[in-house]
Amino acid sequence: MSIFEELESEVRSYSRGWPVVFDRAQGSRIYSEDGKPYLDFFAGAGALNYGHNNPHLKKALIDYLQRDGVTHALDMFTVAKRDFLETLQEKILAPRELEYKVVFPGPGGANAVEAALKLARKVTGKESVINFTNAFHGMTLGALSVTGNSMKRGGAGVPLVHATPMPYDKYFDGAMPDFMYFEKLLEDSGSGLNEPAAVIVEGVQGEGGINAARLEWLRGLDDLCKRHDILLILDDVQMGCGRTGPFFSFEDAGISPDIVCLSKSIGGYGLPMALTLIKPELDVWEPGEHNGTFRGISPAFVTATEALRVYWSDDELEKSTKAKGERIASTFKDLVESYPEANLVAKGRGLARGLEFGSGELAGAVCKAAFERGLLMETSGPDGEVMKLLPPLTLTDDELSEGLSIISESVAAVLK
Amino acid sequence: MSIFEELESEVRSYSRGWPVVFDRAQGSRIYSEDGKPYLDFFAGAGALNYGHNNPHLKKALIDYLQRDGVTHALDMFTVAKRDFLETLQEKILAPRELEYKVVFPGPGGANAVEAALKLARKVTGKESVINFTNAFHGMTLGALSVTGNSMKRGGAGVPLVHATPMPYDKYFDGAMPDFMYFEKLLEDSGSGLNEPAAVIVEGVQGEGGINAARLEWLRGLDDLCKRHDILLILDDVQMGCGRTGPFFSFEDAGISPDIVCLSKSIGGYGLPMALTLIKPELDVWEPGEHNGTFRGISPAFVTATEALRVYWSDDELEKSTKAKGERIASTFKDLVESYPEANLVAKGRGLARGLEFGSGELAGAVCKAAFERGLLMETSGPDGEVMKLLPPLTLTDDELSEGLSIISESVAAVLK
Amino acid sequence: MSIFEELESEVRSYSRGWPVVFDRAQGSRIYSEDGKPYLDFFAGAGALNYGHNNPHLKKALIDYLQRDGVTHALDMFTVAKRDFLETLQEKILAPRELEYKVVFPGPGGANAVEAALKLARKVTGKESVINFTNAFHGMTLGALSVTGNSMKRGGAGVPLVHATPMPYDKYFDGAMPDFMYFEKLLEDSGSGLNEPAAVIVEGVQGEGGINAARLEWLRGLDDLCKRHDILLILDDVQMGCGRTGPFFSFEDAGISPDIVCLSKSIGGYGLPMALTLIKPELDVWEPGEHNGTFRGISPAFVTATEALRVYWSDDELEKSTKAKGERIASTFKDLVESYPEANLVAKGRGLARGLEFGSGELAGAVCKAAFERGLLMETSGPDGEVMKLLPPLTLTDDELSEGLSIISESVAAVLK
Amino acid sequence: MSIFEELESEVRSYSRGWPVVFDRAQGSRIYSEDGKPYLDFFAGAGALNYGHNNPHLKKALIDYLQRDGVTHALDMFTVAKRDFLETLQEKILAPRELEYKVVFPGPGGANAVEAALKLARKVTGKESVINFTNAFHGMTLGALSVTGNSMKRGGAGVPLVHATPMPYDKYFDGAMPDFMYFEKLLEDSGSGLNEPAAVIVEGVQGEGGINAARLEWLRGLDDLCKRHDILLILDDVQMGCGRTGPFFSFEDAGISPDIVCLSKSIGGYGLPMALTLIKPELDVWEPGEHNGTFRGISPAFVTATEALRVYWSDDELEKSTKAKGERIASTFKDLVESYPEANLVAKGRGLARGLEFGSGELAGAVCKAAFERGLLMETSGPDGEVMKLLPPLTLTDDELSEGLSIISESVAAVLK
């Protein structure tokens, strides 16, 4: 029995689908300890938008470590944090005319969500929050209460209250006008809906099945929130940092949410880091009212800063992400047409792409077939029925071709 | 206006007491950007037990990064995780005859606590948890609900329920037998106390004011939990990894809690990492029922492993921690005696030490005086009335002497 | 200042619309202390289906009191309770082939609802309950949590959780297929809807605006609950005891809910009494697990028994209720047509009837005009926009004519 | 099988101990249908302080019914309510210099408690409430959450939150200074106790085991509440209306709580009625914010008014209650001394008296023996270990002698 089986909890999951021991990684490839390469279209569930051990970031990181830059600093002032804040302002916020203050909420995406929910409730004096069907926001108690997945919710062991789910875009395939139900409940003082402090939404739902909200739906949601004085929290933990093309998944909708959650790829190198961006007028915290040990991990600031400089000084990455996304869409279109009886559905935006199968078994079988062919992909959606592609944004055209070939072969192997 | 004031949220706190910009750090010293050294008796709030940028760990870390070891791997199998698990088993668990399985709950201490609470509730089917006065367990909703500080609790914005506080050891200075109230409530079916799933306790309360529970009190609590079928969760996030002398703060009490939370110094280098250790029979999770993006940060595994190898292959560190702790105790005894009117109280165990002043103002003034003399310390306790020392366990005797001198001078400057 | 203004809390409401002091009452008439008669189309908000001081019931009640029958008996066995149970079985349950056990939950409708919710949760082990838009189920904390009205919910002072509102019948005027949203959420394991223990519904919503659910909608709901193993709680507190024609409001739908709540007119004479009827297999209470002081008020049992004997030994009352209801419907139809610009909407079933105006101001003005003309009616609906008629079922045809004339005049006076 | 067994839920409890069918009752006696008289020292669990079918009240009630006085009137103005309010003011509030406004919260004691809790939370903006060990306040969700009994709490089916129990007077037999724990938690901002809106307390705990708080304890609690701006809710549902001697159980302590709950004997004749008395400055309800169908049951107002006139125009009842209480105390003293090995404990005040046995089995056996001898008494306390006497305050000296003889015999029969 391996040490993993002996000592690690049964809660582990990814290792069940990919039963090899990984050792090294570079760019779009990750290698098992026996040297076998895998093309990684999973990319740390979106935490590795710039690829594994990106050489630009690696250099900056090792330089920083070599010179004994401060590693751990809570919310003290550091040179590394100053560089990061200045670069965020210069490369991201200012060009987009976004005015936000930055909360360092803790090391992970769930911390960004917890801080957002706490602040929204503090500011409004209300407890209730609206979330969406098939939302995923994290595993800590506050974040879990706005997450949809029933298995994960069941793990809480206490009733998860204070959140009411509303239908995400296209949940009824157009059978119901956007926000009809939501707005009626808000306007009807007898509806029984607790007046919400905030709405929390993903621009594209990743775990929920690569559901890409239409831009007009996001705009509609933003309008509705403004009309009803509800704070809009945009959870861009997985879809931010360029995953859908622009830096923020909501940019093309032309909205500026009240609160934005970032994590995963913001650190750039896969090191834990998270941000909660808040409109300046919401900055009503007491000093220390929200705190935590891992809010000033300078190595992550260093790689985050370098990533912003290298990849967000122009719009090349955005363009390339969109173009590569279109290539995937095109391949998916072919697959949909090639297997008319399978009723495949192509989904997504930018380099967040999904192919929906009729069942979790089928999607799982395709991912397994791909793994055997050297490609890592996971499934998502409530029943795991969506094959989910989140390749590094930095993958080459050849790598993309290679991956798409494996996918086509794997689909053929399963559906033939 | 600096970029910090312009862009960072008002929630920042440490930077208010130490208004300089830090850049480099080595061992027990951290340097501001103008080169001024500070002796660091704060040590990342307990996250830097092995000092800043410890050379042993630094070497292992840079080697790993240089060779493109996998950085980010969720809960996939990796060589780095295998090394860590084997070393944990060999250096820590096996020698202490502790049988635990390891959950990687997410990057920070709050994740370790959230996972512990979820699991305890799942296993027992009960919701209620007993916590203690002046407990600190974290800022996410589940962890916050078992934390005592009212300002931090107020930040939740929703009522924090499911927890009932009981008096920590010495809360009534012996006026009440240990556990008299708690046990009476448990035994009286009419008491109104919801039957608890678990008790969560710190071996020594850090944020709560460096309150060191007597070992017999911890044993008494363990007994009580066993008698009443309540799971015992020991939150060793701040006091584990040798802070009080032995690796776990509860070792000398001779108990083996059902669940142990570790974080802060477990990664060794200040990188985010956390563990929830659970008795094997509690390992009832479904695969993926608790998950998260930052559960497999290999650089932290690498430094964690190296730290265990370097510092826990023998009992030297434990002995030195205890000895240095006694030196602090001795100096504190002198201070208590030198200022009889100030009613100072010396507290703590190992290298978790506190000196209680009559008010938060006094303790704060002493810390400020120390900062001006080049020493970092923070206050703790409900009113910030305790000067808190958490120096690196690796500090030299000279550094300790230097720090104690500054402390004595600072106390004198304030109380004179 | 009157003693009412001096001593009674500002929470009083009906006395604000009808600022006279009532003294006597008989049948459909209630008299102020100066002898002015009022035709009562309010009838104790549905508690006086058999009219004020009904002579049949009055005789039985006074006989019982004269002979010193036990008045107060908690859940002891009494002759009065035996008579009631036998009569309930003979006149109501057996003829309808309904198999229920009887819980005496306390004196009022809210107690019937609280007991229903407690039992549903105990039986299923789930906490969540589905309620409907504009539902009204009572003012105690459990009942209030499934009530829609936001002003009343706000009075709770704690977040009302554990309930999720679904659209009641016709909430979207057919724009959305029945139960489409509800069933999709139930079937989608990622929807974020907590699995419900029960659905609680009124056959016709009274306080919510006299919304009469179509019988096929009720059947659809019953089907859905069966398909998803959800208990169906039918709150017939206001609409039971013949208000809509048959004894139970759900009879014509051909369903038999798992739990039925009765109160208001079940006692017959306006004395507090309530029942929770439960399917035998749900009778899993421990003895005394739900209790209360006022569960065996024999005078109410006596009048309840007499009411069942006098009015429910044949179907005359049911037929007359339906016929009188049609008369109201016909008058309302005329009013709707006479004031096309007012967009009046006629609503209801049996002798639960409503006329919806464009606003609460208009409906209130009509009720005020009617009061001045000697007719009592209240408004309902989220904005008080519905003029609500709940006359005694025993009113004569002449009284009905008189009332309808006053209504027509009053509408004319307001809308002219 | 009787109709009771066939149709009534298993939740019934009193009928299990007294398996006869009662029919008539007068004064202190209740008769089974075969004519057997029982001396009633249970008295409707405190709802029949003036005895069964008290002739003064009976006459007033039948007169009122005969003349068709309004029976049911919600919160409309009625002559019956005016008489009641004037009499309450004249006989009870004014002589005691108590300034309260009157809320009619619904028909039962739980409604009085629910209204009190709602109002306390609305006024203070806080959710948390302090209750006491072995408290009993009712079975609806809000009232149940502040009730101690674990079996009854378990019936809720949802976690009961927002309340924290504190030790009632003498809970530790003096081992702990009064309120030491409570006040320390309030004063310590790190205690983890949610800041309470209110304290809810019984002057004497009935269901909890006839625990009579010392008057200085009640004064101490009142002081503590004033010092910490916490509202004091005195639940006098069972112990009010003269049960302990004075009209209110708290009178002799010289305090005037912010909110007082009355029910049970306030109606006088066993008819459902309840009051929530509130300090005028707390009367911040919106009209209709708390409502209910059974808040204006005029027959109960009529008997309540008559009871106040007959029994509270002078201090005779108070004196007689205290004197009779002393007789019971004296008999109990003898019993305690006669059975030294049984460690009996005599408890109570006025005509709320208890004799504590070593176990619920013993106390139950004594009650059974008494029943066989023609005396009704129930047990109380967390394990039913207390024989509880709540005879009508109007019982004669002979009846008291008779009852005490039966008790002595029954104790002898069990303990001999």
Q: What's the pLDDT tens digit per position in D124-177?
A: 999 999 999 999 999 999 999 999 999 999 999 999 999 999 999 999 988 889
What secondary structure does DSSP assign to C351-415, as a single string? TEEEEE-SSHHHHHHHHHHHHHTTEE-EEESTTS-EEEE---TT--HHHHHHHHHHHHHHHHHHH
Closest residue on chain D to A125 (Cα): D125
Q: Is C131 helix (H, G, I), strand (E, B) or coil?
A: strand
Over residues C316-345, the pLDDT tens digits come to 999 999 999 999 999 999 999 999 999 999
pLDDT at C345: 98
- pLDDT-derived band of residue C175, with 50, 70 and 90 as boundaries? confident
Q: Which residues of chain A lie closer than 8 angstroms to B156, CB-CB?
A: 118, 121
Q: Which residues of chain C lie closer than 8 angstroms to D13, CB-CB?
A: 75, 287-288, 291
All chains having 3 or more CB pairs closer than 8 angstroms to chain B? A, C, D
> Does the CB of A21 have a partner CB in chain B at under 8 Å?
yes
Residue C247 near residue C96, CB atoms below 8 Å: yes
For testing contact with chain C, the best of D5, D10, D12 (most C CBs within 10 A): D12
| 8 Å CB contact of B192 and D151 | no
pLDDT at B416: 84
> From the list B72, B102, B269, which residue is nearest A48 (CB)?
B72
Query: Phi/psi at A87 (nearest 5 deg)?
Result: -70, -40
What secondary structure does DSSP assign to C166-227, as a single string? EPPTTTTTTSS-TTHHHHHHHH-TTS-PPPEEEEEE-SEETTTTSEE--HHHHHHHHHHHHH
Over residues A163-179, the pLDDT tens digits come to 999 999 999 988 889 99
All chains having 3 or more CB pairs closer than 8 angstroms to chain A? B, C, D
Give the minimum alpha-carbon distance from C169 to chain D in angstroms, rounded to a whole number: 25
Closest residue on chain D to B380 (Cα): D190
- CA dihedral of residues D367, D148, A163, D122 (deg, nearest 10): 110
| 8 Å CB contact of A294 and B13 | no
Give the minimum alpha-carbon distance from A371 to chain B in angstroms, rounded to a whole number: 14
Query: What would the mean pLDDT of C118-142 be, rounded to a whole number?
Result: 98
All chains having 3 or more CB pairs closer than 8 angstroms to chain D? A, B, C
Give the minimum alpha-carbon distance from D98 to chain C in angstroms, rounded to a whole number: 12
The total of other beta-carbon atoms located within 10 Å of residue B10's CB is 15
* Residues carrying CATH 3.90.1150.10, chain D: 3-54+317-415
Query: What would the mean pLDDT of D71-79 be, rounded to a whole number?
Result: 97
| 8 Å CB contact of D160 and B133 | no
- pLDDT-derived band of residue A318, with 50, 70 and 90 as boundaries? very high
Over residues C383-403, the pLDDT tens digits come to 999 999 999 999 999 999 999
Residue B70 near residue B78, CB atoms below 8 Å: yes
Over residues D394-414, the pLDDT tens digits come to 999 999 999 999 999 999 999
SS (H, E, C) chain D: CCHHHHHECCCCCHHHHCCCCEEEEEECEEEECCCCEEEECCHHHHCCCCCECCHHHHHHHHHHHHCCECCECCCCCEHHHHHHHHHHHHHHHCCCCCCCEEECCCCCHHHHHHHHHHHHHHHHCCCEEEEECCCCCCCCHHHHCCCCCHHHHHCCCCCCCCEEEECCCCCCCCCCCCCHHHHHHHHCCCCCCCCEEEEEECCEECCCCCEECCHHHHHHHHHHHHHCCCEEEEECCCCCCCCCCCCCCCHHHCCCCCEEEECHHHCCCCCCCCEEEECHHHCCCCCCCCCCCCCCEHHHHHHHHHHHHHHCCCCHHHHHHHHHHHHHHHHHHHHHHHCHHHCCEEEEECCEEEEECCCHHHHHHHHHHHHHCCEECEEECCCCCEEEECCCCCCCHHHHHHHHHHHHHHHHHHHC
Cα D241 → chain centroid? 9
CA distance A45 to A37: 18
CA distance B41 to B390: 5
Q: Which residues of chain A lie closer than 8 angstroms to C147, CB-CB?
A: 192
pLDDT at D175: 86
CA distance A196 to A126: 6
Q: Which residues of chain A lie closer than 8 angstroms to D158, CB-CB?
A: 159
Give the domain A3-54+317-415 fold.
Answer: Aspartate Aminotransferase, domain 1 (3.90.1150)
Q: Tally A–B CB contacts below 8 A.
A: 377
Residues 6+ apart with CB under 8 A from A13: B75, B287, B288, B291
pLDDT at B96: 98
Per-residue pLDDT of chain B (416 residues), as tens digits, is: 799 999 999 999 999 999 999 999 999 999 999 999 999 999 999 999 999 999 999 999 999 999 999 999 999 999 999 999 999 999 999 999 999 999 999 999 999 999 999 999 999 999 999 999 999 999 999 999 999 999 999 999 999 999 999 999 999 988 889 999 999 999 999 999 999 999 999 999 999 999 999 999 999 999 999 999 999 999 999 999 999 999 999 999 999 999 999 999 999 999 999 999 999 999 999 999 999 999 999 999 999 999 999 999 999 999 999 999 999 999 999 999 999 999 999 999 999 999 999 999 999 999 999 999 999 999 999 999 999 999 999 999 999 999 999 999 999 999 98
Over residues C95-125, the pLDDT tens digits come to 999 999 999 999 999 999 999 999 999 999 9
Residues 6+ apart with CB under 8 A from D370: D376, D377, D406, D407, D410
SS (H, E, C) C273-325: CCEEEECHHHCCCCCCCCCCCCCCEHHHHHHHHHHHHHHCCCCHHHHHHHHHH
Is D1's pLDDT higher than 80?
Answer: no
Q: Which residues of chain D lie closer than 8 angstroms to A159, CB-CB?
A: 158-159
> Does the CB of C163 have a partner CB in chain A at under 8 Å?
yes
Both tokens assigned to D302? 């009529």
Closest residue on chain C to A153 (Cα): C192
Closest CA to D348 of D361, D364, D369, D331: D331
Is D194's pLDDT higher than 80?
Answer: yes
| 8 Å CB contact of C122 and D291 | no
Q: Which residues of chain A lie closer than 8 angstroms to C164, CB-CB?
A: 164
CA distance D393 to D324: 9
Task: List all residues of chain D from 140 to 159 with a beta carbon under 8 Å from chain A.
Answer: 158-159
Q: Which residues of chain A lie closer than 8 angstroms to D159, CB-CB?
A: 158-159
| 8 Å CB contact of B181 and D189 | no
Helix B316-338 to helix B397-415 angle (10° resolution) is 20
| 8 Å CB contact of C176 and A175 | yes
Averaged pLDDT score across all residues of chain C: 97
| 8 Å CB contact of C158 and B159 | yes
| 8 Å CB contact of A158 and D158 | no
CA distance A59 to A50: 14
CA distance C260 to D399: 44
pLDDT at D80: 98
pLDDT at A362: 98
| 8 Å CB contact of A153 and C192 | yes
Over residues D240-261, the pLDDT tens digits come to 999 999 999 999 999 999 999 9
Both tokens assigned to D44? 């409707």
Is C265's pLDDT higher than 80?
Answer: yes
pLDDT at B174: 84
| 8 Å CB contact of D140 and C141 | yes
Residue A26 near residue A48, CB atoms below 8 Å: no
Give the minimum alpha-carbon distance from B11 to chain A in angstroms, rounded to a whole number: 4
Give the minimum alpha-carbon distance from C210 to chain A in angstroms, rounded to a whole number: 13
Is A1's pLDDT higher than 80?
Answer: no
Residue B110 near residue A108, CB atoms below 8 Å: no
The overall pTM is greater than 0.90: yes
ipTM for the whole predicted complex goes beyond 0.85: yes
Both tokens assigned to D162? 């927002």
Averaged pLDDT score across all residues of chain A: 97
CA distance A28 to D323: 92
Q: Report in angstroms the alpha-carbon separations of D80 from C108, C232, D76.
A: 21, 40, 11
| 8 Å CB contact of B22 and A294 | no
| 8 Å CB contact of B193 and D131 | no
- CATH number of this structure's domain D58-312: 3.40.640.10
> Does the CB of C384 have a partner CB in chain A at under 8 Å?
no
